[in-house]
Amino acid sequence: MSAFAESEAKETFVLNLGPQHPATHGVLRVKLTMDGEYIAEAEPVLGYIHRMHEKMGENRTWAQFLPNTGRMDYLHALAYNHGYVSVVERAAGIEVPERAEYLRVITAELNRVSSHLLWFGAFILDLGGFSPLLYAFDDREHILDLLESVTGSRLTYCYFRFGGVYNDIDDNFVPGTRAFIKRLRERMPMYHNLVTKNIILMKRLQEVGPISAEMCRKYGATGPVCRGSGINFDVRKHEPYSVYPEFDFDVPVYDQCDSMARYMVRMDEIEQSLRIIEQALDKLPEGPVMAEKVPKILKPAKGDYYHAVETARGSFGVRVVSDGTNTPYRLKLRSPTFSNLSLFGEASQGMLLPDALALMGSLDLVIPEIDR
């Protein structure tokens, strides 16, 4: 090593971001090699809360693993419910009643809106603004009240079952949901006036944290992260499942590739989810919410099965291998946040630390989903 290189190496220092830090939104450690105020290298360190969900799935019956799905991405637990029950239904040849599929979509989309609202409030808090968090949580409480009335829970939902859903909605759910849609649509201009058009936010996000489409493909990034980089991919549209083909909705895509683009994708997705819920309520059919004669002890046919759903953070895939017994032979979960976080090291190189925190916030990380 030359004398110049040695002097350069001495100028850097290591800074630990986390594992207990408000900006990491979970037990995540990022080992930063700093050159002054600039990031020379960033290394995410995972595994602090790893719980071996996949191995647990291989030691439980197919039904006993259902509560685990709500403990991974706890902010969009119903999408994880949806992914797991769908792949098992495919393996076991179970037909789901149409009303149950509609209820799955309605509740999963409400859960998506609540996830985006929490991300919005926490993201602005990371950037130094406190008031938007209070507004976002005020609206989110209305969703939690609606979901609690039908699922019995407010966070780690376990509402879906093989062949349908746990129970039907009550008489207040439909009018309550319509009232919430009206309320949130009236409040969205306030969010944009207070935050989106705020010059401070624009300076913090525009042209900050560029992630190219090529980088998204390289690391397998999905969801709002790839759609903010100009890639038009949404599992609900491009690999349709459930009754999503019945609904008219758009996939928000921005090609600016910066943190502001990822912000705008999620804000637009809130409106698209409201459109889906509204159409589902209009078309909601009568009928049973559970398939008839679903075996109490499932033993799907031998085979290798895969199913993907679109969560608030991207494509969540479930692969199960059945050996014909009452427990999965192999369970593999494809975590969208793991892929989205993987690009942080390359994307943050050369950035100022405050800008890197803005980039990290725009990825919408849920660490228990990575440390599954």
- Enumerate domains of the chain plus CATH numbers: 3-370 (1.10.645.10)
Question: Where in the chain does DSSP place strands (E)?
Answer: 12-17, 29-35, 38-45, 160-161, 164-165, 303-311, 314-322, 330-334
Average the pLDDT over each of 112-116, 263-267, 361-365 and give the range with the smallest value.
361-365
Q: Which residues of 299-326 are buried (b: 16+ CB within 10 A; e: fewer)?
A: bbeeeebebbbbbbbbbbbbbbbbeeee
* CB-CB contact of 21 with 322 (8 Å): no
pLDDT at 8 over 60: no
Dihedrals φ, ψ of 130, to 5°? -100, -40
Mean pLDDT, the chain, rounded, equals 91
Residues 6+ apart with CB under 8 A from 265: 224, 227, 228, 252, 253, 254
363: enclosing H helix or E strand: none
The residue written with tokens 């033993």 in the block is 299
- Please give the average per-residue pLDDT across 46-54, as a whole number: 88
Measured CA to CA, the distance from residue 155 to residue 313 in angstroms comes to: 16
Per-residue model confidence (pLDDT) at position 372 = 81
The residue written with tokens 């609904």 in the block is 247
Q: Is the pTM of this model over 0.85?
A: yes
Q: What's the pLDDT tens digit per position in 235-267?
A: 999 999 999 999 999 999 999 989 999 999 999
